[in-house]
Amino acid sequence: GQQVMQIPQYQHVQEGEDFTTYCNSSTTLSNIQWYKQRPGGHPVFLIQLVKSGEVKKQKRLTFQFGEAKKNSSLHITATQTTDVGTYFCCDRAGGTSYGKLTFGQGTILTVHP
């Protein structure tokens, strides 16, 4: 079945440094959604990317969808301690698996003050 690979698995940064997590698939992604899960919490929706080459920004967060729709990235500029958590990408399938979400393993971000 489809696999969504996410790297890195862990990332430790000093507050103020930038952070990027990458999401890759061997097959074409349908719709990429990004979620954040704080320690002890549940995933919270951040954004959805649908179009090839799409770039969306939310304050310090920049989301990109690859031209070939096989990868996506989330970049955080000047991290803050509130950015701590696990960032997941997931593909919301179309076609015969319409609606099925396949999650990446997540990137655990630690921000040192």
Min separation Cβ 53 and other proteins, Å: 21
Min separation Cβ 99 and other proteins, Å: 5
Binding site for other proteins (CB under 8 A): 1, 31, 33, 35, 41-45, 48, 88, 90, 92, 97-106
Beta strand segments in the chain, E: 4-7, 10-14, 19-25, 31-37, 44-49, 55-58, 61-65, 71-76, 85-92, 101-103, 107-112
The one-character DSSP state at 95 is G
Task: Say how many Å lie between the first and final Cα of the chain, rounded.
Answer: 41
Which of residues 20 and 105 has its CB atom nearest to other proteins in the complex?
105
Beta bridge partners of 23: 6, 72
Q: Hey, how many other C-beta atoms are within 10 angstroms of the C-beta on 105?
A: 15
Min separation Cβ 106 and other proteins, Å: 6
Min separation Cβ 76 and other proteins, Å: 21
Which of residues 52 and 78 has its CB atom nearest to other proteins in the complex?
52
Output the six-digit token pair for 86.
């696990």
